[in-house]
Every structure is written in C-alpha cells, then in structure tokens.
Chains A and B, each alone.
Chain A
Amino acid sequence: MLKRHTPSKESVWAEWEREKRAAKRRAARGPQYKPRPTPDNSEPWLKHPPRTIEDLFYISDRVAEEAAKWRAMLQKL
C-alpha cells in the first residue's frame, strides 16, 4: 500500500505561524508595494520566455554546457 503523508500537529502549527508572519510582512509593506516579477531566464538563450517543455530542456542543456565550459576553464588555472 502507498504510504500516506499525514501532517503532524507541529507541522500544521508551524505552517500556520509561517502564514501569520507572511501576512504581517505583507501588511507592513503597504498597498503601494509591487511584488517582484518572476525572473525571466530566457536571456541569453531564448528570444522569449520558455513556452514549451522543449524550451525548458533547452535552457537546462545550455546551463549545463556553460557550467562545463567554466569548469574546464577553472581547471586550467
């Protein structure tokens, strides 16, 4: 049988406390506060934000390539 996740009393309490703190922070910021927009990671790899799953894999592969390139460069030092 699959193991069901049942939250503990402590975790429910902790989550409630976390939500209360978040609500307090939101209230302190005031109505003029604008939330930070979602970062756009399409640059420099795509001309638009990712729209398809292929776009997501494309970004992942480019990041992996970039990391490998930097790793190789650092090993030469």
Chain B
Amino acid sequence: MAGNASEIIERLATRQRVLILGGIAVIAHGLSRTTEDADVWLDPMESIEKWCSVVRAELVKGATLLDVSRHREITPGELEEAIDLAGMVRVGGLDRYLDIFYQPNQLDLEDFDAAWQVAHLAIGSARVMDERF
C-alpha cells in the first residue's frame, strides 16, 4: 500500500481548493453509510495541464493512476489525455481508491466557484459539497 487517500486529500487541500463529494460527503453531512472510495473535486484552475501537474506532484511512490473510461492503468504522462476523456482520474495503490475529479458528471467547470462558496462545512482543509449541489 502506497499511502492513505485521506493524507493525499489533505495535502491537496492545503495547496488548492478541494471539495469532498460522494459517499464521504454524505457521511460528513451526518448520515451513516458506507463507501468504498473517496471522491473529491479539485479546483479546475486555469488549464488541464496545471491541474494535472498538481495531481502528479501529490502522487506518492507506489500509487497508480487508472483511466476509468478505458479501464486501464496509465502513466503520469497520459494524465491529460485521460482527464480530457473522462473528466476524472482514479488513484489506486492506496488504502482505498481516490477519485479526483476535474469535472464531475453533470456539472460545469464554472460551477466550482459557486459550489465552493456555498460549501459551509469544512473537514480538515477541504470543504464538503453542499447538498444544494
């Protein structure tokens, strides 16, 4: 195991704006449920290239990148292409899968700012997606 998903999220959140989504967001909002992975929306920033360089910088040794749209492992150099296709990347080799979204399904990149502003609940340095989104 290369590391903890929670540590990578926290490190990302100290450098960039990170919104927690999915199952762990539901738990953060006070409901009891299980989740197999962690979903986060990393600030799309000004370009895919910058976004990918931030993700690559936080990868720990032994972590793997998975292109979920083509069901295969990718190299860090192929990250831009995978993000362009799927809008997200799955980080494996950790204690659990970490799905980092560039653009979550049915949301626009421009929605990030609004989602960040209304997200009032913070967990560590990250914020939790509000139920209104």
A1 contact set on B, CB distance < 8 A: 84
Out of B20, B24, B29, B108, name the residue touching A60 (CB < 8 Å).
Answer: B24
Within 8 A of A (CB), among B119-133: 123-124, 126
* B30 adjacent to A60 (CB under 8 Å): no
The total of chain B residues at the interface (CB under 8 A) is 29
What is the minimal beta-carbon distance from A60 to any residue of chain B, in angstroms? Answer: 5
A63–B5 Cα distance when bound, in Å, is: 19
Contact across chains for B24 and A56 when beta carbons are under 8 A apart: yes
Within 8 A of A (CB), among B12-57: 20, 23-24, 27-35, 38
Q: B27 and A59: CB pair below 8 A?
A: yes
Per-residue CB contact flags for chain B residues 95-128 toward chain A (1 = under 8 Å, else 0) read 0100000010111100000000000000110100
Contacts of A2 in B (CB 8 A): 84, 87, 103
Q: Is B80 an interface residue (CB 8 A)?
A: no
Q: With A2-B87, A38-B29, A60-B24 given, is the CB distance from A53 to B34 under 8 Å?
A: no
With CB as the reference atom, state the residue of chain A lying closest to B30: A39
Residues of B with C-beta under 8 A to A4: 108
A51-69: which residues lie under 8 A (CB-CB) from chain B?
A: 51-57, 59-61, 63-64, 67
Contacts of B6 in A (CB 8 A): 52-54, 57
CB distance from B23 to the nearest CB of A (A): 7
- 5 nearest A-B residue pairs (beta carbon): A53-B6, A39-B30, A64-B34, A56-B24, A38-B30
